[in-house]
């Protein structure tokens, strides 16, 4: 196992998910239902499934497109989203 990659993935996703709409939805659902462990289990399974889909898609797409091109397209996408958010277009 690549422990450095594991730690990097965990740290990146942990920081990225703090305070996002998913976490706020979990807070709302847990507060509303008062069933915190059920909300935790459901949200954990959803995050695992979404992550699985992302990894499987990456494995598939890397068979046709080099990781360097994917990295550049993703970076450009983040820049476009940042510009749109900056100018209140999203």
Structure confidence by residue, pLDDT tens digits, 39-67: 999 999 999 999 999 999 989 999 999 98
Cα distance between residue 28 and residue 13, in whole Å? 21
73 Ramachandran zone, left/alpha/beta (phi>0; psi -120 to 50): alpha
Per-position b or e across 10-38, b if 16+ CB within 10 A of its CB: eeeeeeeeeeeeeeeebeebbeeeeeeee
- What predicted TM-score, i.e. pTM, was given to this entire model? 0.69
Domain extents in the chain? 3-64
Is the pLDDT at 88 greater than 90, yes or no? no
| Contact (Cβ atoms closer than 8 angstroms) between residue 33 and residue 41 | no
């Amino acid at each position: 196992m690549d422990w450095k990659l594991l730690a990097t993935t965990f740290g990146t996703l942990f920081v990225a998910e703090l305070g996002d709409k998913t976490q706020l939805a979990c807070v709302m659902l847990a507060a509303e239902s008062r069933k915190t462990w059920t909300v935790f289990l459901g949200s954990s399974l959803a995050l695992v499934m979404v992550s699985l889909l992302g990894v499987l898609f990456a494995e598939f797409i890397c068979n046709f497109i080099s990781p360097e091109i994917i990295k550049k397209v993703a970076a450009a996408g983040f820049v476009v989203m940042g510009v749109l958010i900056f100018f209140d277009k999203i």
